[in-house]
């Protein structure tokens, strides 16, 4: 855990968030500034700053993180309608919180093209 990381504190239950899924490896909660009717962030409970910091040892964790997405999508009622998964990494992607997180965005038609 990184003591100055807001998402570590959410994973530890030290600051409030609307948690929609939690297990020993990952936590999912509603984004505080949703950009769509469904906007969930899924994070590893362990502090990993960004995609660039993933190690080979993190592969089962990341597989698990992706694996919980359909369960959360089902809870949110967006399995059939669809959703977008986004992982912002670094300055050009406007990554703001330096704790790896996967955005699940849905409940409305997404804009395209991306970028």
Question: Active-site residue numbers?
Answer: 101
Longest dimension (CA), the chain: 39
List the end-to-end C-alpha distance of the chain, in Å, as a whole number. 32
In the set 95, 100, 102, 105, which binds ligand 5GP (CB under 6 A)?
Answer: 95
Residue 33 lies near ligand 5GP (rule: CB under 6 A): yes
* Options 23-31, 44-52, 54-62, 64-72: segment touching ligand 5GP (CB under 6 A): 23-31
Task: State yes or no: residue 38 binds ligand 5GP (CB under 6 A).
Answer: no
Site string for Zn ion, 45-84 (x = CB under 5 A): --x-------------------------------------
Closest CA to 42 of 55, 33, 29, 52: 29
* DSSP string covering 90-101: SGGGT--SSS--
Q: Which does 2 bind (CB under 5 to 8 A by kind): Zn ion, ligand 5GP, none?
A: Zn ion
| Residues comprising the chain, all counted | 115
Binding site for Zn ion (CB under 5 A): 2, 5, 7-8, 47, 99
Binding site for ligand 5GP (CB under 6 A): 6, 17, 29-33, 41, 88, 94-97
């Amino acid at each position: 855990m990184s003591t100055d990381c807001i998402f570590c504190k959410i994973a530890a239950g030290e600051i409030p968030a609307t948690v929609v899924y939690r297990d020993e490896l990952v936590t999912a909660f509603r984004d505080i500034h949703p950009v769509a009717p469904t906007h969930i962030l899924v994070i590893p409970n362990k502090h990993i700053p960004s995609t660039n910091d993933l190690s080979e040892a993190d592969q089962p964790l990341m597989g698990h993180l992706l694996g919980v997405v359909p369960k959360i999508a089902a809870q949110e009622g967006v399995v059939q309608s669809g959703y977008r998964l986004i992982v912002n990494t670094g300055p050009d992607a406007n990554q703001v919180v330096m704790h790896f997180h996967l955005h699940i965005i849905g409940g409305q038609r997404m804009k395209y093209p991306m970028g």
